[in-house]
């Protein structure tokens, strides 16, 4: 309402009015000294006019559109570019987990442990950003990154795979930097999967975080867990490989079971510079139909 009037007046060559509270406007109206004092406090030119905050008298029905969800406060918006109230989108999720952090903590002071974990997360996060993704959540020594927030599925899949390779490069550089401080090089595992998920701000009042929810995110976490048993560095779903344009004949097919899915899924194995890659399909086994009584 206020913005409309200000823009309309500006279009006629007049300066937009300054809308103050009714008490302030009444106190300053007709009192040039008080008006100048108010304008100086607002860092506005002395030629600006004061107006009342209530400028319209509707003559018909008026539609009221909420600008913010009921649980969002003004303090939250001041520090954010936008409010994400929820939408469905194809997102590629990438989980990165540092290996051996518990053993690392047992042999070091807390400060040294936190320092090394933060350096690892910095190396992984920088790779995600350089690859076109967004670091989303940090849980202990692990990272969830999202790709496809502003890109199509094919581009998001290529970005995630490229970022995984850059994570390996950055961590290798970190291991060289701290070779004299580490008893053994820092290892890690990565799981990548894509699919339709829900993205939005989750939490309570000033404890809100933007994140992704859905089966595809859970599968990416399961694939990351599989890197330990399969003795590989990166596990990528077949869906991501197909969308990224990676030819399946370059990889060897075997079968694995994704925990929580109850399916025997196909995987594709291969190798890359400095890492061993493995790709898993996300096909579910069909459940048998319930037998009639």
Distances (CA, A) of 42 to 20, 29, 30, 38, 92: 10, 16, 19, 6, 46
Residue of 100, 141, 136 whose CA lies nearest to 117 = 141
Structural domains of the chain sorted by starting position, each given as residue range(s) with its CATH number in brackets: 2-65 (no CATH), 87-280 (3.30.70.1230)
- Give the rounded percent of residues in the chain with a pLDDT score beyond 90: 34
Q: 254 vs 282, which has greater pLDDT?
A: 254
Quote the tokens at residue 113.
Answer: 């442990």
Give the pLDDT confidence score for residue 9 in this predicted structure: 40
Rounded distance, CA 71 to CA 29, Å?
A: 37
Asked whether the predicted pLDDT for residue 289 surpasses 60, the reply is no
Q: 89 vs 267, which has greater pLDDT?
A: 89
Global pTM value: 0.66
Average pLDDT (144-152) is 95
Q: What is the pLDDT of residues 13-52, one digit of tens each?
A: 444 444 444 455 555 555 667 666 766 666 666 666 655 5
Asked whether the predicted pLDDT for residue 272 surpasses 50, the reply is no
Average pLDDT (53-60) is 68
Rounded distance, CA 212 to CA 87, Å?
A: 10
Cβ-based neighbours of 197, under 8 Å, separated by 6 or more: 88, 89, 90, 91, 93, 212, 213, 214, 215, 216, 217
Rounded distance, CA 129 to CA 156, Å?
A: 12
**72 pLDDT band (50/70/90 cuts)?**
low
- Give the CA count within 13 Å in the CB-facing half-sphere of 211: 15
Rounded distance, CA 269 to CA 159, Å?
A: 20
Query: Can you tell me whether residue 24 is helix, strand or coil?
Result: helix
Asked whether the predicted pLDDT for residue 233 surpasses 80, the reply is yes
Rounded distance, CA 94 to CA 223, Å?
A: 10
Asked whether the predicted pLDDT for residue 199 surpasses 50, the reply is yes
Query: Can you tell me whether residue 84 is helix, strand or coil?
Result: coil
Q: What is the pLDDT of residues 93-146, one digit of tens each?
A: 999 999 988 888 887 888 889 999 999 999 999 999 999 999 999 988 999 999
Average pLDDT (209-217) is 91
């Amino acid at each position: 309402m206020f913005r409309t009037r200000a823009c309309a007046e500006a279009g006629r060559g007049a300066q937009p009015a300054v809308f103050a509270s009714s008490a302030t406007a009444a106190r300053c109206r007709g009192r040039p000294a008080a008006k100048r004092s108010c304008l100086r406090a607002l860092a506005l030119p002395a030629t600006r006019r004061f107006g009342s905050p209530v400028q319209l008298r509707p003559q018909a029905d008026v539609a009221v559109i909420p600008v913010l969800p009921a649980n969002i406060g003004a303090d939250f918006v001041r520090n954010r570019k936008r409010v994400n109230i929820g939408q469905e989108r194809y997102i590629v999720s990438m989980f990165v987990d540092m290996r051996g952090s518990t053993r690392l903590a047992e042999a070091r002071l807390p400060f040294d442990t936190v320092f090394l974990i933060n350096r690892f997360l910095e190396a992984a996060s920088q790779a995600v950003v350089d690859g076109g993704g967004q670091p989303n959540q940090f849980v202990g020594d692990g990272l969830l990154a999202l790709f496809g927030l502003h890109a199509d599925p094919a581009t998001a899949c290529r970005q995630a795979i490229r970022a995984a390779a850059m994570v390996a490069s950055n961590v290798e550089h970190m291991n060289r930097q701290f070779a004299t401080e580490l008893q053994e090089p820092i290892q890690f595992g990565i799981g990548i999967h894509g699919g339709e998920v829900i993205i939005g701000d989750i939490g309570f009042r000033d404890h809100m975080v933007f994140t992704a929810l859905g089966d595809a995110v859970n599968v990416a976490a399961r694939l990351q867990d599989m890197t330990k048993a399969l003795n590989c560095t990166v596990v990528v779903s077949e869906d991501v490989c197909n969308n990224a344009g990676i030819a399946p004949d370059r990889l060897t097919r075997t079968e694995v079971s994704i925990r929580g899915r109850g399916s025997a899924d196909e995987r594709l194995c291969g190798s890359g510079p400095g890492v061993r890659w493995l790709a898993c399909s996300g096909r579910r086994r069909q459940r048998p139909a319930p037998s009639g009584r």
